[in-house]
Amino acid sequence: MFGAMLVWKLGTVGVWAGWVLIGFGLYYGWQLTMSLVYPAGKIVVGEKQIVLPRRIHRPRPLEVAPSQVTAVYFLRRSVPWNKAAPVLVVELGPRALLFPRDWFASEADQRHVVHALLHHLPPKAA
């Protein structure tokens, strides 16, 4: 609303600022819509299948065999500025999925997922 008013009433700089505000509004409106339409993703670790959400509120989670998981670890220091540390990283070959601390009720929940995934990894040769 405010962005549309800036576009309508102001000069060049105000118009650009208005378009930026409209863009932010559309982006966050889309995220709100996705969170209302789709439930929050769950990480499910089973004996024959692992279900990993692509993002917090997105359809069609990844369903992989436990043998496709190549590494599981925490990032505690080298975390992107827009993610809460620690970040759980699950590597599926060349692809890595990041699950920030905000997705879990506690850090202990993150550790439970790590231990469950590590249980399925083959032992490393020394």
Distance, in Å, from the CA atom of 114 to the CA atom of 33, rounded to the nearest integer, reads: 31
Q: Are strands 71-75 and 62-64 parallel, antiparallel or unpaired?
A: unpaired
Question: Percent of the chain having pLDDT more than 70?
Answer: 88
Q: Which of residues 64 and 13 earns the better pLDDT score?
A: 64
| 26-29 contact pairs (CB < 8 A, 24+) | none
For the entire predicted model, the pTM comes to: 0.66
Helices 2-9, 12-37: axis angle to 10 degrees equals 160
CATH number corresponding to 44-120: 2.30.29
Q: How many CB atoms lie within 10 A of CB 61?
A: 16
Q: Which of residues 47 and 85 earns the better pLDDT score?
A: 47
Domain boundaries, the chain: 2-37, 44-120
pLDDT for res 125: 42
